[in-house]
A and B are shown apart, each in its own frame.
Chain A
Amino acid sequence: MDMPTPSLQILSRKARIVERLLEVLPADAVVHDPNEVRAYECDALSAYRCPPLAAVLPRDTAEVAAVLRVCFEERVPVVPRGAGTSLAGGALPTADSVILGVARMNGVLEVDYPNRFIRVQSGRTNLSVTGAVESDGFFYAPDPSSQLACAIAGNIAMNSGGAHCLKYGVTTNNLLGVTMVLMDGTVVEIGGPWMDAGGLDLLGVVCGSEGQLGVVTEATLRILPKPEGALPVLIGFNESEVAGACVSDIIKAGVLPVAIEFMDGPCIKACEAFAKAGYPDCEALLIVEVEGSEAEIRHQLGLITEIARRHNPVEIREAADEAQAKRIWLGRKSAFGAMGQINDYMCLDGTIPVSSLPHVLRRIGELSRDYGLDVANVFHAGDGNMHPLILYNANLPGDQEKCEALGADILRLCVEVGGCLTGEHGVGIEKRDLMEVQYGAADLEAQVRVKDVFDPRWLLNPAKVFPLHVTAGRRAG
């Protein structure tokens, strides 16, 4: 993975830049000691590391604006950072960049139940947004598995999804407004507690822009009343293809589950060994969750199991209560941890049309054999968002390269069948060089021009999302 050569011109001015940052922030909000900045050297794509020039931890929009003005004047690149859980290297610094961390900006600014929104500072963690409204019967719907740690800022930048997004949508569908600071320090208010844009839908393009258009400091989020209840059913199959067909039938039947999760044989075995959830020994497993009152849940689960029976399941296990529900989810929730126990792994995130599921699973199996690397599949089947986990050995020379090559082939396959490179983790540096697989030169140029408008000097998180050769002229300027 190439990153641009750091600017010696900037590195040599470190003392002056730090001094100017200290003029606008308290001393404890500017990290510049070479050892201390190591805390910001990577995100959850930890194979890539680079300590930044400095890191700043502002407390509010005004401080963010002040920092950005300094960096704009000094022409220093800025990498915004939430909690650093990006799996795509979105928050990876370069040696000549300043990390702007919003972690200290974690307050709740307004809770409004009649109008069903909450306004928070963007460094607040995803789970604690729900935490702020839960006792009054509300929740914030997008629920990435990293929700205990990840910040709303990162969620907005990556347009993150979660297990429940089949029913409730992803971040962009639940975001009403933001306060954002542009690279030159201009504060922009976009959207608010109403339901559409008066002019161009700038909010729509800010969400998912991976920290390249502005630094989001506050967000207005839609909150929803909690459902009366929710229960899952677990269905085991002897063939992945059959499980795939069952998913399609459930969707067509008009039941709208909150989640349809899929695990294949290798993944089931790993989870069993790790979490002992008591899963059946089979080749594919679906967990389908529905919501409503007790009677509504039973009715929907009845329809789902009826559909499943037509596909010769090896086992159907309807959760009778909360405790059984927990057991059913236990294995799925520990899937990533379980895989991490047995191996190093790389988690892919391509999305495919649900109808291509059987074909894609077969092809992934073939590619896995060709490369001699095991692949376990665990994913959000309802919306076709795959998470193939490629197992490799980081200590074996050449294995990581092999793994990345297999990953690239799997993502090419996703695009080939009409899907995309990333469904929820974002492009970052990880999929940057594959962007041309999905988009033509003009398509990429159109996106790059959007950044030209928001950040004409190309200082915000400049080395991400687009292949470096596409942005070279701009970054230099």
Chain B
Amino acid sequence: MRPENEAELSEMVRHARGPLAVRGGGTRGLAARGAVVLETSGLSGVRLYEPGALTLVAGAGTPVAEIEVALATEGQRLAFEVPDLRQVLGRAGASTIGGVVAENASGPRRVQAGACRDFLLGVRFVDGRGDVLRNGGRVMKNVTGYDLVKLMAGSRGRLGVLTEVALKVLPKPEAEVTLALRGLSDAQAVAALSAALGSPYEVSGAAHLPGQGTFLRIEGFAGSVRYRFGELARLLQGFGVAEEVPSPWAAIRDVGPLAAVAGDLWRLSVKPSEAPGIVARMGAEAVIYDWGGGLIWARMAPGADLRARLGVFAGHATRLSGAPGIAALPPEAAPVVALSEGLRAQFDPRGIFAAPEEV
């Protein structure tokens, strides 16, 4: 199914009998099996862009690339840095902004600027009853009623089909520089990243690629970036000699280093200081650390039960690829499950939106 507009979509959902799987570009989300695919590509186009107010409103099916081009002409960007997972997941297609929002997909700049949900100002969506709903708006501060905007971000198509999203955008900085440290163990690397993130130098990327290096990004005015590089190098002296390197951030954002490694792809959100210990316990084929250690991307041997290996830890793990058998989404505590199921039952009483389970 491919609705051309919100009204058509509303009718389709209202009359749907079996499960539906909402699909933007099919480039990142977990797929649902046995469901009728509902494509959002008909709900496309930038509806409003006010560079002076830092706001952009677009149909959920708008390709991210189209939005990025529009923003670039005004020297602006989506500051949460949309990861492009096509290579690492072996997918094709064009990523849509609705898919990005539904996954709350956020890149390295999460540590400084915030996640996708932090830039989401408003949504329109069609819930499981077929009702067209609106929440938030297009202004930067809005506490009028409950924040369903945040709830929809990362809801993976389970509460409704996003039709339109309003985003806060930011100016592109004048300059960017990357500082690298070499030869650090995972534990040393995370300690170095923490020290940098705990400094006033506004680090906007903090990643560690085992065997390759430990990377810190600084962005801003040219003079400022120079100054901060120097200060950071001094601050991190105890970890080795800092060098300036070409930007590795597109690759880190897209989990590029794991593209060539075989196995199931896992994503873990953890307390940064515990990341090296977690990695040591999980026996991965390969990992990378982003978000100062708070985000771990891992390739595991096919079928390996990462959660069983780790036991209880502060955070959660999601499986993004590999054969079914191990739950893709992280387990949650009983009261949280009860609330989440309760919300699903309210927004989608007939259970029309299929669970994104298996890939």
Contact = CB atoms under 8 A, between A and B. Distances in A.
Contacts of A115: 194, 271-273
Contacts of A69: none
Contacts of A226: 200
B342 A453 contact: yes
Given A431-B144, A453-B343, A256 B335 contact: no
Contacts of B340: 199-200, 202
Contact of A442 (B51, B104, B131, B145): B131
Top 5 nearest A-B pairs (CB, nearest first) are: A204-B150, A198-B316, A423-B141, A254-B171, A453-B342
A418 B346 CA distance: 28
A197 B139 contact: no
Interface of A: 112-116, 137-138, 158-159, 161, 165, 169-170, 172-173, 182, 186-190, 192-205, 207-209, 225-228, 248-249, 251-254, 256, 292-293, 295-296, 299-300, 351-355, 380, 383-385, 418-427, 431, 435, 438-440, 442-444, 446-447, 449-454, 465-466
A204 B151 contact: yes
Contacts of B153: 201, 204
Contacts of B220: 296
B335 A205 contact: no
Nearest to B173: A254
A384 B223 CA distance: 30
A446 B137 CA distance: 16
Interface string B99-141: 0000010100011001101100000000100011111011111
A440 B133 CA distance: 8
B211 interface: no
Most buried by A among B139, B141, B339: B141
Given A208-B147, A450-B146, A197 B198 contact: no
A196 B269 contact: yes
20 contacts: A115-B194, A138-B198, A194-B316, A196-B154, A196-B269, A198-B316, A200-B340, A200-B343, A201-B151, A201-B155, A248-B52, A251-B52, A251-B53, A351-B140, A384-B140, A385-B140, A418-B139, A444-B145, A446-B127, A446-B131
Contact of B143 (A202, A225, A423): A423
Contacts of B145: 427, 435, 438-439, 444, 447, 465-466
A198 B139 CA distance: 27
Given A189-B336, A208-B146, 12 more contacts: A116-B197, A192-B315, A194-B316, A195-B110, A195-B111, A196-B110, A199-B330, A354-B54, A427-B143, A446-B131, A446-B133, A453-B342
Given A194-B315, A228-B200, A383-B140, A188 B336 contact: yes
B141 A449 contact: no
Contacts of B154: 196-197, 200-201
B29 to A, nearest CB: 14
A196 B115 contact: yes
Binding site secondary structure of chain B: mixed
Contacts, number: 255
Most buried by B among A203, A450, A452, A465: A450
Contacts of A454: 339, 342
Interface in B308-341: 314-318, 329-330, 332-333, 335-336, 339-340
Contacts of B149: 204
A198 B140 CA distance: 25
B271 A421 contact: no
B191 A207 contact: no
B125 to A, nearest CB: 9
Interface of B: 50-55, 74-75, 104, 106, 110-111, 114-115, 117-118, 127, 131-135, 137-151, 153-155, 158-159, 170-174, 191, 194, 197-200, 220-221, 223-224, 227, 269-273, 291, 294-295, 314-318, 329-330, 332-333, 335-336, 339-340, 342-343, 345-347
Contact of B138 (A225, A353, A427, A446): A353
A193 B155 contact: no
A131 to B, nearest CB: 18
Nearest to A192: B314
Given A202-B340, A423-B142, A353 B197 contact: no
Most buried by A among B106, B144, B197: B144
A426 B316 CA distance: 32
A440 B134 contact: yes
Contacts of B227: 293, 295-296
Contact of B147 (A196, A207, A452): A207
Contact of A199 (B54, B138, B332): B332
A254 B71 CA distance: 13
Contacts of B174: 254
Contacts of A300: 221
Contacts of A425: 143
Contacts of B133: 442-443, 446
Contacts of A188: 333, 335-336, 339
A442 B198 CA distance: 45
Nearest to B54: A251
B53 A295 contact: no
A158 B143 contact: yes
A165 B127 CA distance: 32
Contacts of A293: 224, 227
B335 A187 contact: yes
A354 B53 contact: yes
Contacts of A187: 335
A160 B195 CA distance: 29
Contacts of B159: 200
B335 A420 contact: no
B314 A383 contact: no
B141 A161 contact: yes
Contact of A198 (B148, B199, B330): B330
Contact of A200 (B142, B155, B170, B294): B155
